[in-house]
Amino acid sequence: MLPRKLKFQPQAVDDPDDPRVADFFRLNDPELRRAVERPDSAQGFFVAEGALVIRQLLRSRYPVRAVLATQQGLAALDDDLARIDAPVYRVSQALMTTVTGFHFHRGALASAERRPHPDLATVVDGADLVLMAEGVTDNENLGSLFRNAAAFGVGGVVLDATSADPLYRRSVRVSMGQVLRLPFTRVDDAVEAIGRLQALGFEVLALTPSKTADDVRAIARRPRQVLLVGAEGPGLSGAALRAADRRLRIAMSGDVDSLNVATAAAVALHHLARPR
């Protein structure tokens, strides 16, 4: 069967060392990716994978740098890629594997420019429900938090300086591209940011497994609330817990004392979400 004719003309690449596809070299090397993507710089870039996430990227505020795709990936994104200005490169499946460093089977990759983090007040402006994370260093957990935040109507996400990079490829993929849609920012100090949020009229609710915390079901839903979550294991810092307005817990049965951070956040956000 002949391949479907595309609505645009991609550029063929047949050399894995072609500098045009350098954005996608060795995606399986975390140290290299941190060095080339420069996650701490507004002049850096990130990589999105798969048709669903790339469509989210094309609708986002992040400028696309390049797209690398197999014939199958190009066919899946035909209508979407026909409208972009960035270069689109076609490679064989074998070359895709060589370039990325692993058997990548999602058909398409896109690189995009990072943007400066907005001010905290800008991110939460107009939001009734905000999610804040302290010390969430696992990329998959962070991606899941963004997906949950989008599902339950969170208006903005605040991350402390120790949390993972939300634009790391795995985080973007696990979020199903929602990290590209939700406004977020980083803050240098979680406790200082909690104080700023309170000064803006937000009630900060810290999620903890502590038996002395209030059951989340007893918390009244109201405008301008922040759900504060921490990493699995250590949880929130003592300073963050003390700075919060209230502490919440999710009641559980048996010997289970806590949930995965993304799961726990989903339960709490579902309770706090404003009806739509």
What confidence score (pLDDT) does residue 2 get? 36
- 44 has pLDDT over 90: yes
3-state secondary structure of 109: strand
The DSSP element (H or E) to which 135 belongs, if any, is none
Q: What is the mean pLDDT of residues 16-26?
A: 97
Report how far residue 25's alpha carbon sits from residue 29's, in angstroms, rounded to the nearest whole number: 9
Domains of the chain, with CATH numbers?
11-113 (3.30.1330.30), 120-272 (3.40.1280.10)
What confidence score (pLDDT) does residue 276 get? 56
- 100 has pLDDT over 70: yes
Question: Are 136 and 164 a contacting pair, CB within 8 Å?
Answer: yes
3-state secondary structure of 74: helix
Going from the C-alpha of 169 to that of each of 2, 63, 164, the distances in angstroms are 33, 16, 11
pLDDT per position as a tens digit, 189-232: 999 999 999 999 999 999 998 889 999 999 999 999 999 999 87
The pTM score is 0.92
- 4 has pLDDT over 70: no
Report how far residue 24's alpha carbon sits from residue 14's, in angstroms, rounded to the nearest whole number: 14
Report how far residue 71's alpha carbon sits from residue 137's, in angstroms, rounded to the nearest whole number: 36
Report how far residue 176's alpha carbon sits from residue 231's, in angstroms, rounded to the nearest whole number: 21
Q: What is the mean pLDDT of residues 145-160?
A: 97
What confidence score (pLDDT) does residue 8 get? 67
Instruction: Cite the beta strand spans of the chain per DSSP E.
Output: 11-12, 45-49, 64-69, 88-90, 108-113, 129-134, 156-160, 184-187, 203-207, 214-215, 225-230, 246-249
Going from the C-alpha of 187 to that of each of 52, 104, 158, 159, the distances in angstroms are 30, 34, 7, 6
Q: Indicate the DSSP class of residue 235.
A: B
